[in-house]
């Protein structure tokens, strides 16, 4: 198996190898000189020979490298008919008969071994095209699936389409009969075995890296996981010293079986995602998830929900005191239904609670009248005199019930305000 795996190695620039559990990417390869140059994620360059790579027992191709092999064969023993059960081999040979009939018109693939009714008119190569024969086979299999659904499902022919036949035929030409076998028949998808201690360490490091630290690489997270497990098991003295190399492997955690780097990276990506967001947005998302109610709000009228957010304004403004361009913070209240601005405030320094409170005040205050609105939109609530509201606000007030055009800002008093940090 070793020689078979070595013959499948892809040594072109950009391909990845796993050496001693670490990922190394091929930078250049000179086969006529027997030399190869590799780099790791930390930028370390390693020049070695092809002979050394071939004779290393801890060197294997990475599953992330694109090859001509199917996904079920990457970094593993190639699949073969011996890997299948008896009933699975029967299904494979049945699929092969259908593919041979589509290609040649005969179930056996040989005119000398033809059945009495072969070739059938819809599968005669002399009068039909390959695509026409494939479409005829799709209709035949669908009709059989409608008549005998249990048998068709057992043979994996109940959802056969034109693309399925093309994919099977391509794999048959490339890999033989095993190409039409389902990859799920070959190996049981057992997933990853996670101990309770490792699960606790993963979530602890995730909370630490996503909420209280700057952006970390997966190597840093791996070391934090090992450090957490050592501290929980009472072996904190196994922490590496300051003089230890930065790219050294994490110390073994006594009494616990910890997966290697590739497995931890796969588990992290499966559980928490690729972590491609900026830390400020990741913290905002974590904080919003912490206070989420789990209820979906349907916004159907203006003023029902107003969202508040604060950010650095992407342009400079002139300071009134020194007339210098300075950066300011923009605190914005946006009506979710109309996408219009309800209130905003600019702060020369980082926004405080008083700035948010003033934005809420501006948002809740009645909207002042504009010269071109007319008398139809003046304050006209029954039981509340116009003079009382105007005296309280200090200006002529518009009617919150009036339906103004969409470009105008909302004047309906909001019922819910949502803030994001």
- 326-357 pLDDT, tens digit per residue, is 888 888 888 888 888 888 888 877 777 888 88
Q: What is the pLDDT of residue 239?
A: 43
Q: How far is CA 107 from CA 101, 102, 104, 376, in A?
A: 5, 8, 8, 84
The answer for 284, left when phi > 0, alpha when psi is -120 to 50, beta otherwise, is: alpha
HSE-CB for 36 with a 13 A CA cutoff = 21
Predicted confidence (pLDDT) at residue 114 exceeds the cutoff of 60: yes
Q: What is the mean pLDDT of residues 191-214?
A: 82
Predicted confidence (pLDDT) at residue 116 exceeds the cutoff of 60: yes
Instruction: Show the domains of the chain with their CATH numbers.
Output: 2-73 (2.30.30), 81-185 (no CATH), 196-283 (no CATH), 306-419 (no CATH)
Q: What is the pLDDT of residue 413?
A: 57
Predicted confidence (pLDDT) at residue 233 exceeds the cutoff of 70: yes
Q: What is the pLDDT of residues 253-312, one digit of tens each?
A: 556 778 888 888 888 888 887 766 677 777 777 777 777 666 677 888 877 888 888 888
From the CA atom positions of the chain, what is the Rg in Å? 34
Window from 4-13, 258-267, 319-328, 376-385 with minimum mean pLDDT: 4-13
Give the start-end residues of each E strand in 231-340. 306-312, 317-318, 325-326, 329-335
Q: Are the beta carbons of 341 and 334 closer than 8 angstroms?
A: yes
Burial environment of residue 377 by CB neighbours within 10 A (0 to 12, 13 to 18, 19 or more)? buried
Q: Which of 303, 337, 335, 258 is nearest to 413 (CA)?
A: 303
* pLDDT bucket at 66, cuts 50 / 70 / 90: low
What predicted TM-score, i.e. pTM, was given to this entire model? 0.36
Q: What is the pLDDT of residue 135?
A: 92
């Amino acid at each position: 198996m070793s020689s078979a795996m070595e013959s499948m190695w892809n040594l072109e620039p950009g391909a990845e190898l796993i050496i001693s559990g670490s990922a190394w990417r091929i930078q250049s390869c000179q086969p006529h000189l027997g030399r190869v140059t590799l780099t790791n994620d930390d930028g370390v360059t390693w020049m070695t020979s092809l002979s050394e790579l071939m004779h290393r027992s801890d060197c294997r191709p990475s599953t992330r490298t694109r090859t001509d092999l199917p996904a079920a064969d990457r970094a593993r023993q190639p699949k073969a008919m011996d890997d299948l059960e008896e009933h699975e081999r029967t299904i494979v040979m049945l699929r092969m008969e259908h593919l041979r009939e589509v290609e040649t018109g005969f179930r056996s693939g040989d005119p000398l071994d033809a059945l009495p009714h072969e070739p059938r008119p819809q599968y005669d190569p002399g009068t039909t095209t390959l695509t026409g024969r494939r479409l005829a086979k799709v209709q035949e299999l669908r009709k059989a699936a409608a008549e005998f659904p249990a048998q068709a499902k057992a043979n994996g022919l109940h959802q056969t389409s034109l693309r399925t036949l093309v994919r099977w035929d391509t794999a048959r030409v490339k890999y033989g009969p095993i190409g039409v076998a389902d990859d799920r028949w070959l190996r049981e998808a057992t997933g990853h075995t996670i101990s309770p201690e490792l699960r606790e360490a993963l979530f602890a490091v995730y909370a630490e890296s996503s909420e209280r630290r700057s952006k970390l690489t997966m190597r840093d997270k791996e070391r934090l996981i090992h450090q957490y497990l050592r501290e929980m098991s009472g072996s904190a003295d196994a922490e590496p010293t300051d003089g230890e190399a930065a790219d050294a492997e994490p110390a073994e955690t006594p009494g616990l079986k910890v997966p290697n780097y590739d497995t931890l990276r796969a588990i992290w990506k499966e559980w928490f995602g690729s972590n491609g967001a900026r830390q400020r947005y990741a913290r905002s998302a974590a904080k919003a998830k912490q206070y989420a109610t789990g209820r979906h709000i349907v916004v159907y009228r203006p003023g029902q929900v107003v969202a508040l957010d604060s950010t650095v304004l992407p342009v400079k403004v002139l300071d009134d005191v020194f007339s210098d361009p300075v950066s300011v913070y923009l605190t914005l209240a946006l009506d979710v239904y109309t996408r219009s601005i309800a209130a905003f405030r600019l702060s020369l320094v980082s926004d405080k609670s008083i700035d948010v409170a003033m934005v809420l005040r501006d948002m809740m205050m009645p909207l002042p009248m504009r010269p071109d609105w007319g008398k139809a939109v003046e304050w006209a609530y029954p039981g509340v005199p116009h003079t009382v509201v105007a005296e309280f606000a200090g200006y002529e007030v518009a009617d919150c019930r009036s339906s103004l055009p969409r470009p105008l800002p909302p004047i309906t008093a909001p019922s819910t305000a949502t803030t994001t940090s």
